Amino acid sequence: MKRPLEISSAPEREIVKSYGNNIRIEREFNEKLNRDVEYVDVLGVRVRRRDQHDTFGEEKAGMVPVFQGSPEVFKDLSFGKAETELLKAALMRYAIGHHTLFLGPPGFGKSRMLEFMAYLLNVPFARVQCEKGMDVSQQFLWTYVRDNGSWKGRLGPLPQSILSGGLLLVDELPNLEPAERQVILGPTELPHNPRMTGKVPTLHLHDYPGMEMTIQARPGWFLVATGNYREGQGVGEIYGLTEREERRIRPYMLGVLPAGTGAKRMSSRYRGEQMENTKSDDYENKAYQREATDLPDEVINFTADLFEIVDRVLKMEVLNSVRQEPKVFLTEAIDRAFDHFMYFQLQSQEQTQVKKVEDVIGSALLALEFYYVNAFRAETRMKLPDVPAELDAEMQKALKSHTDKDKRVLVRDYITWRLKDLLERKIWEQAEAKKVNYRERLEEIYYPEKKAEAEAAEKQKQIDAELAQITTLLGTQPAPQPLPPPSPVPPQDLAVPTSPKESPDLMRALEASYEEIKETLKTFNITPKTLPTIGQIMPTVWALGPEKLAEIAQFNKPTLLITPGIKRDNKIKAINSHKLYKDQVDTYCDPSPADALWGPEKTKLTVSIVDGALSMPIHSQVPQDLKVIEKVKKYQEIYTAKGMKMISADEYLTLQMLSLHRYKQLISQGIPHEEALKTMVENWADEEHKTVTLFNVDHISDLTSLSRVPYGYFDLAQVSLYWNNPDFVDDDFRSRPSVWISEF
């Protein structure tokens, strides 16, 4: 006999306690258990609380370990958007069994909120602060204690939390060395929830006093760690976490951008009373205080559209092509990037129309770059997807030039280029089926008079064309138009000679470059306290002898360089702190400028003569089908035989400062930006000067052991210094000779 169909209604939920607007403890009747049970609800994420009736099939009721402590200790906590985000993320990972590493700025309140989470779940809580040099086994696994005159073993917080099914908070986990972290992360190889795998996490204590102990985790055991991140760091490069560690303890970036990000702008943590969200994921339903920003609703809406396009495109193109699997922390990227775009605008003080457009574009790009670019390690590479065929020719060329022998490109480079491309792509339909990009859409909103001016100019063009037709029909000729003014030409002393032989006096050329380098050091604010005079330098140049001077005369552009004896990092900071044009971005140096790979740092001011031409020609004695490492050896052999050396990274940085200073001089004389920019050394965007300078590596005795090769170039926006694949075969890789003169 069939049972009649029973229609059950949704269980009634009683709110036991609430914190803020979005954190609640609820009680409802569970038919299966035939009793009331409690749940924690944070923005719709519901997880059951442990209670005194739970037995897990083993213990007697009332014997299961629970949270020890008073909820009064949490009465001073605030529960705004940032805290709710942390709790929601932690509960989601607790529910599916993913142990988690939460990364956030110092002072975010990570530890207190995670202890509060243990109270909400009613599970035992333990906390261990990681410090460099600590004895991990003693602090986490077990230690000796004295008991009635004898020594016995006592379990540490890790096995105790596993046995009790509690929450273990490991503060500042990245402070530990990889081998030390492995001791703690061993049991996290499996999710703590056995329903996910059918297996139970275990911990083996092989050296426990008197026995070998194997501990199985009680359901609910959760290991959660914290760490601080610095400006510009991504999830995958915090203190060098390995991919294996990331699979065991999933990283999650919290909260706001670090202070000082971008052009002296920073985002703040806005609490619930200042900015709040609804539960909807629809950006248009997010409630921002309108009086706090002058951002029109239309700008918010189509910026949200842009962010969704970026998110969809990058996930499709990057996640399918990269070996690393960052899906966990890319899931929340669009939410956090969009929120920080809004934070920037809440703080923005820009009023003028043009500056406001630039400010909005800069905010959007900065927020997107932080969350999408930094989600990957600096060295992670990917195969170029097929989709970028739609990119413009210049971008395709730049991407291909940065691929390795397996045609893989750095993920960070690809995302940076793709973001800029998407900002320029025409997405929004306008009247007459015309499409506009992000900038054009902003301009239409912020200064519509520009559109009216463009329409008036187009109408005037039509009138002029009609008048021209009429005058032709009448047999008359229109009045002659005045010739346009001639294009300005750089002064002769700034033009680069095609051959040094055109200068009959080498010494005069070096004296001229002395004045130029002196002004350059002043421009970048790194003039040494004691700068040698030209009178002190020239005698040492004469002392080189006629043979060496004849070699120098063969340089395309003999250039006297004065390289200050300051740290390489300070030279780079000087370039970044004195940007000479609006699109210039920070110098890129990989690895760190202080890395031993670059060789010893200069401690004294040095004077040298280098070839300062815009680009170097192919050397007749260096075959172009050689690998880059073979080219380095060949150049070193050729230059050493002539008493020279390859240019160093420090000299190259000084040469690029000289190049930027030359740009500034041309601009002051009325030369257009595009033309002045072409005078930059190694200009990768200018086909005529598209070369790469290989650097001196005489501080490395065995070149055959090199796994990377150093070089530098200028790519239209920034100076770049790299160590890269030695197996490249490309005729763009050349070198510049340098003749050491003296130290001062």
pLDDT at 707 over 80: no
Count CB neighbours of 705 within 10 A: 7
What tokens appear for 273 in the block?
Answer: 């009373």
The answer to whether the CB of 60 falls within 8 A of the CB of 53 is: no
Count CB neighbours of 535 within 10 A: 7
Q: Kindly give, in sequence order, each residue whose CB lies less than 8 Å from that of residue 600, ignoring residues fewer than 6 positions away.
A: 699
Cα-only R_g, the chain: 33
3-state secondary structure 563-574: ECCCCHHHHHHH
Confidence of residue 122 (pLDDT cuts 50, 70, 90): very high
Tell me how far apart the alpha carbons of residues 728 and 618 are, in angstroms, rounded to a whole number. Answer: 16
What tokens appear for 160 in the block?
Answer: 């105790």
The answer to whether the CB of 262 falls within 8 A of the CB of 366 is: yes
Strand pairing report for 381-383 and 408-410: antiparallel
What tokens appear for 618 in the block?
Answer: 């192919």
What tokens appear for 243 in the block?
Answer: 């991919």
Using CB atoms within 10 Å of the CB of residue 341, give its burial: 0 to 12 exposed, 13 to 18 middle, 19+ buried: buried
Give whole-number Cα distances, 508 to 500, 503, 550, 552, 558, in Å: 12, 8, 15, 13, 11
The answer to whether the CB of 500 falls within 8 A of the CB of 557 is: yes
Sheet (strand 719-724) strand order: 588-589, 719-724, 709-714, 692-694, 733-735
Tell me how far apart the alpha carbons of residues 204 and 508 are, in angstroms, rounded to a whole number. Answer: 78
At residue 738, the pLDDT reads: 93
- Tell me: the pLDDT tens digits for 708-743? 788 898 988 889 898 877 887 888 889 999 998 888
Confidence of residue 237 (pLDDT cuts 50, 70, 90): very low
Beta-strand ranges (E) seen in 69-174 are: 100-104, 125-129, 142-147, 150-155, 167-171
The answer to whether the CB of 661 falls within 8 A of the CB of 519 is: yes
Least confident segment among 222-231, 243-252, 460-469, 733-742: 460-469
3-state secondary structure 357-403: HHHHHHHHHHHHHHHHHCCCCCCCEEECCCHHHHCCHHHHHHHHHCC
pLDDT at 279 over 50: no
CATH class of 15-236: alpha beta
Q: Which amino acid is at 621?
A: Q
The answer to whether the CB of 50 falls within 8 A of the CB of 121 is: yes
CA 713-717-723 angle, 5° bins = 35
pLDDT at 448 over 60: yes
Tell me how far apart the alpha carbons of residues 471 and 78 are, in angstroms, rounded to a whole number. Answer: 78
At residue 501, the pLDDT reads: 39
Least confident segment among 72-81, 317-326, 390-399: 390-399
pLDDT at 572 over 70: yes
Tell me how far apart the alpha carbons of residues 465 and 479 are, in angstroms, rounded to a whole number. Answer: 14
Give whole-number Cα distances, 422 to 291, 307, 326, 356, 685, in Å: 30, 10, 22, 20, 20
pLDDT at 475 over 90: no
- Tell me: the pLDDT tens digits for 486-526? 334 333 333 333 333 334 468 788 888 898 999 999 989 89
Count CB neighbours of 368 within 10 A: 27
Tell me how far apart the alpha carbons of residues 526 and 567 are, in angstroms, rounded to a whole number. Answer: 11
Tell me how far apart the alpha carbons of residues 494 and 557 are, in angstroms, rounded to a whole number. Answer: 11
The answer to whether the CB of 629 falls within 8 A of the CB of 541 is: no
The DSSP H or E segment spanning 452 is: helix 449-473
At residue 491, the pLDDT reads: 35
pTM value surpassing 0.75? no
Give the 3-state secondary structure of residue 562: strand
pLDDT at 578 over 90: no
Maximum average pLDDT range among 6-20, 267-281, 480-494: 6-20
Half-sphere exposure at residue 94, Cβ-oriented, CA atoms within 13 angstroms: 31
pLDDT at 265 over 60: no
Mean pLDDT of 285-292: 38
At residue 520, the pLDDT reads: 92
Tell me how far apart the alpha carbons of residues 110 and 172 are, in angstroms, rounded to a whole number. Answer: 11
Count CB neighbours of 180 within 10 A: 20
Tell me how far apart the alpha carbons of residues 294 and 301 are, in angstroms, rounded to a whole number. Answer: 14
- Tell me: the pLDDT tens digits for 102-117? 887 777 788 888 999 9
Confidence of residue 329 (pLDDT cuts 50, 70, 90): low
Q: Find tokens 């000289």 and name the residue.
A: 658
Tell me how far apart the alpha carbons of residues 518 and 512 are, in angstroms, rounded to a whole number. Answer: 10
State the distance between the two ends of the chain, measured CA to CA, in whole angstroms.
Answer: 105
At residue 60, the pLDDT reads: 59
What tokens appear for 682 in the block?
Answer: 């190694």
- Tell me: the pLDDT tens digits for 520-546? 999 898 988 888 888 888 888 888 888
pLDDT at 445 over 90: no
- Tell me: the pLDDT tens digits for 16-46? 888 877 888 999 888 888 888 899 988 777 8
The residue that leads in pLDDT, 4 or 603, is: 603
Q: Where are the domains of the chain?
A: 15-236, 293-473, 506-743
Q: Give the residue from 135, 181, 186, 180 showing the smallest Cα distance to 162.
A: 186
The number of angstroms, rounded, from the C-alpha of 262 to the middle of its chain's C-alpha atoms is 12
CA 152-158-162 angle, 5° bins = 105
Bond into 187 cis (ω within 30): no
Give whole-number Cα distances, 273 to 287, 306, 646, in Å: 11, 28, 61
Tell me how far apart the alpha carbons of residues 515 and 563 are, in angstroms, rounded to a whole number. Answer: 14
Using CB atoms within 10 Å of the CB of residue 183, give its burial: 0 to 12 exposed, 13 to 18 middle, 19+ buried: middle
Tell me how far apart the alpha carbons of residues 569 and 503 are, in angstroms, rounded to a whole number. Answer: 36
Give whole-number Cα distances, 11 to 29, 30, 34, 36, 687, in Å: 7, 8, 13, 11, 71
pLDDT at 118 over 60: yes
At residue 190, the pLDDT reads: 61
The residue that leads in pLDDT, 460 or 644, is: 644
